[in-house]
Chains A and B, each alone.
Chain A
Amino acid sequence: MNRRDLLKNLLIIPPGIFLGGLFTKILSLLKKTPLGKISLESIYEKYNPHEHYYAMGIDIDKCIGCGRCVEACKIENNVPQEPFFFRTWVERYVITVDGETKVDSPEGGIHGFPETLTEKEILRTFFVPKLCNHCDNPPCVQVCPVGATYKSIDGAVLVDKDYCIGCRYCIQACPYGARYLHPETHTADKCTFCYHRIVKGLQPACVEVCPTGARIFGEVKPRNNPLARFVRFNKIGVLKPYLNTDPKVYYANLDKEVT
């Protein structure tokens, strides 16, 4: 090999390796996606996401802080039992007559709440269930560098755990603290509205178990469904509206203290 050949090889080999790697990567991606095997039409026959647009309503006055929703969510979605990871949790607000607000959520409220211990006279107190707001303008989706978190056609914000690189930018970008890094998969995780259930026409686990019906799940658009009725007959607030995230978890009787 003379010098000219050596130089030629040096110029050709590295890009060759890069392109080869790229090609095998694309091949493996094509193999991985289920769409390669099943056609879109056959999926749509059973469930057509274009026909749905989901949201949730929460009536704060109905929540009793029992924490069954938190427990059901953890069981249904394999959320780690440790009290640092939640897809949904319940907060308790205690506002005293002198205007002081105390908030707590012991273990996300999964075991309910201990008795309120305050010397001061209480003005009002209430529970606020929290979860991913499935924003219409989701900052988490905007920041994901690889598009692993995305807004589905039917309005749920989802994470592809086989694609997430675990950079945690989405966790930083979520104003509601709704995301966490799953300690086993090392990928971002969050509420999916129990997507695996709702595509079968079932209710999300938290809605299913709520003993007082404080959580209402349904569609945004059609008038003849529970959520549409809930939104029509209540004064609705959303969390941090000034951030322009357009949350799709609608709260009835939301207090100004709730952040």
Chain B
Amino acid sequence: MEKSFERLAISLKEVAGFIYPNEIELHWSILIVVYPYITGLVAGAFILASLERVFNVKEVEPTYRLSLLTALAFLIVAPLPLVAHLGHPERAFEIFLTPNFRSAMAMFGFVYAWYLLVVLLVELWFEYRKDIVVWSKKEKGLKRIIYLVLTLGASDLSEKSLRFDKKAGKIITIIGVPSAFLLHGYVGFIFGSVKANPWWSSVLMPVVFLFSAIVSGIALMILLYMVITLFRKKPIEMSCIDKLASFLLYAMILDFSLENLDFIHRIYESEESIKILYQLLISKLFISMVVIQILLGTIVPMVLLAWTKLGHLPDELRRLIYFCSAILTLIGIFSIRWNVVIGGQLFSKSLRGLTTYKMELLGIEGLLVALFFLVLPFIILYILVALFPPWKEAEVKLET
């Protein structure tokens, strides 16, 4: 506690202008930056997977199963930073037991449970059922038991039952797309509905969150697909990443337009908060917003991707551009989350001053824990991929 007081005392010295005395402590830390970032990746990866299923985009098929597994790996981690950030993590369960239905946050548990249990797990199960049944007969030891349990006793491999799997999978995808929209649009609503905070309070917030989620999900899948294929020493299917890169570009154009709309709207309306928000932008958020989010994270990858569309570039150069654009985009989307969550707390609600965020390194709300939550999904994904190989070659072909 003494240490946190010392940090607050330093923050107090760095206050510019006037802030309410209770505002010296910044309440939503880097963990709350990580949370919408991760749920965004879930929603984005899932929506990408749905493209193949619902709109029959054949080119992106190599990433279909991988996208679903990625969405699951990140979804498992999504609530962890939230719970870790609570003052009383042991009471987190109260959200399910006595939810306040007027609270946007209370709905988190239900939206999350719906998405995990009804959408993602069921879709994955139908997608993999045939393979799981075959593996449960082929494999030995612990793996066999795991597969056996996962068949849930449904080991029928008749043509009729396989047709049912396909149909059920499709129906769940169709339910899944609005659910993914709900999951992340809802996270945007948590911020967008806070009328006390002019930086957050915007009806566009859920929409911007959603499109940036799609952008980040596609970028992540480009990156994962390229890296994994490289490690598997397989050729990268250019038609697949070309398509993914096109989707990324379109999603970015939409996302960037929405953000600009929000920006222009704010400047044009010029409400009382505009002066302090301008101060915020040109001082505290200049690097993270203007340089990283807008320039490096959006404009540079957009120009690069547009270049690959217009010019006839060799495959190798295109691969390099896609790879770099995906990384830049992922960093850019992370800084969007940072600028929303942290940026929204750097100015006083008195609109008369700015404060600073002193990030911890080691504490529970520190940088290391945040990094851990960002790495953990990849470890989970590694295990999932080992159990359920998402590649075409691994898929069981039945002789019929």
Interface, chain A (partner B; CB < 8 A): 3-4, 6-7, 10, 22, 25-26, 82-86, 89, 91, 101-105, 107-108, 130, 139, 142-147, 163-169, 171-181, 183-187, 243, 259
Contacts and interface: CB of A to CB of B under 8 A. Distances in A.
Nearest to B190: A169
B8 A84 contact: yes
Interface in B1-15: 1, 4-5, 8, 12
B24 interface: yes
B106 interface: yes
Report which residue of B24, B88, B89 has the largest number of chain A beta carbons within 10 angstroms of its beta carbon.
Answer: B88
Given A103-B350, A180-B25, A82 B87 contact: no
Contacts of A174: 196
A101 to B, nearest CB: 8
Contacts of A89: 20-21
B108 interface: yes
B251 interface: no
A235 B98 CA distance: 42
Contacts of B89: 165
Contact of B196 (A3, A82, A175): A175
A84 B24 contact: yes
A179 B22 contact: yes
B149 A83 contact: no
A175 B195 contact: yes
Contacts of A176: 20, 349
Contacts of A108: 21
Contacts of A145: 95, 99-100, 103, 105-106, 108
Contacts of B98: 146-147
16 contacts: A10-B149, A22-B97, A25-B97, A83-B12, A84-B8, A84-B21, A130-B20, A146-B99, A146-B106, A147-B98, A165-B88, A166-B91, A173-B196, A175-B196, A181-B25, A185-B87
Contacts of A187: 87-88
A8 to B, nearest CB: 9
B21 A105 contact: yes
A27 to B, nearest CB: 12
Contact of B104 (A4, A102, A143, A166): A143
A84 B27 contact: no
A186 to B, nearest CB: 3
Contact of B22 (A166, A169, A177): A177
Contacts of A104: 18
B209 to A, nearest CB: 16
A169 B12 contact: no
A167 to B, nearest CB: 6
Contacts of A177: 19-23, 348-350
Closest 7 CB pairs of A and B: A166-B87, A177-B20, A186-B87, A175-B196, A145-B106, A103-B18, A147-B100
B137 to A, nearest CB: 13
Nearest to A244: B195
Contacts of A10: 149
B94 A165 contact: yes
B21 A83 contact: yes
Contacts of B27: 168, 171-172, 181
B196 to A, nearest CB: 4
Contacts of B12: 83-84
Interface string B209-222: 00000000000000
Interface string B178-203: 00000000000010001111000000
Contacts of A83: 12, 21
B233 interface: no
B197 A172 contact: yes
Report which residue of A144, A145, A181, A185 has the largest number of chain B beta carbons within 10 angstroms of its beta carbon.
Answer: A145
A26 B197 CA distance: 36
A103 B352 CA distance: 8
Contacts of A86: 21-22
A163 B93 CA distance: 11
Nearest to B153: A7
Report which residue of A10, A103, A163 has the largest number of chain B beta carbons within 10 angstroms of its beta carbon.
Answer: A103
Contacts of B153: 3-4, 7
A7 to B, nearest CB: 5
Report which residue of B5, B21, B194 has the largest number of chain A beta carbons within 10 angstroms of its beta carbon.
Answer: B21
